[in-house]
Copies of this chain bind each other. A is one copy, B any other.
Amino acid sequence: MDPSKQSYLTKKVISIGVVSELTGLSERQIRYYEERKLIFPKRTDRGTRKYSFSDVEILVEIANKMEDGIQTTELRREMNKHKDREKENNIKKSMIRGQMNAHFNRKNKPL
Would you give the 0/1 interface string for A1-14, flagging 1 where the beta carbon is closer than 8 Å to chain B? Answer: 00001001101011
| Cβ contact within 8 Å between A18 and B13 | yes
Total interface residues on A, CB under 8 Å, equals: 11
Interface of A is mostly: helix
Instruction: Name 10 extra pairs, CB < 8 A, besides A8-B8, A13-B18, A18-B50.
Output: A5-B5, A5-B8, A8-B9, A8-B53, A11-B53, A13-B13, A13-B14, A13-B22, A14-B14, A15-B15
Copies in the complex: 2
Q: Which residue of B lies closest to A48 (CB)?
A: B17
| Cβ–Cβ < 8 Å partners of A15 in chain B | 15
| Cβ–Cβ < 8 Å partners of A5 in chain B | 5, 8
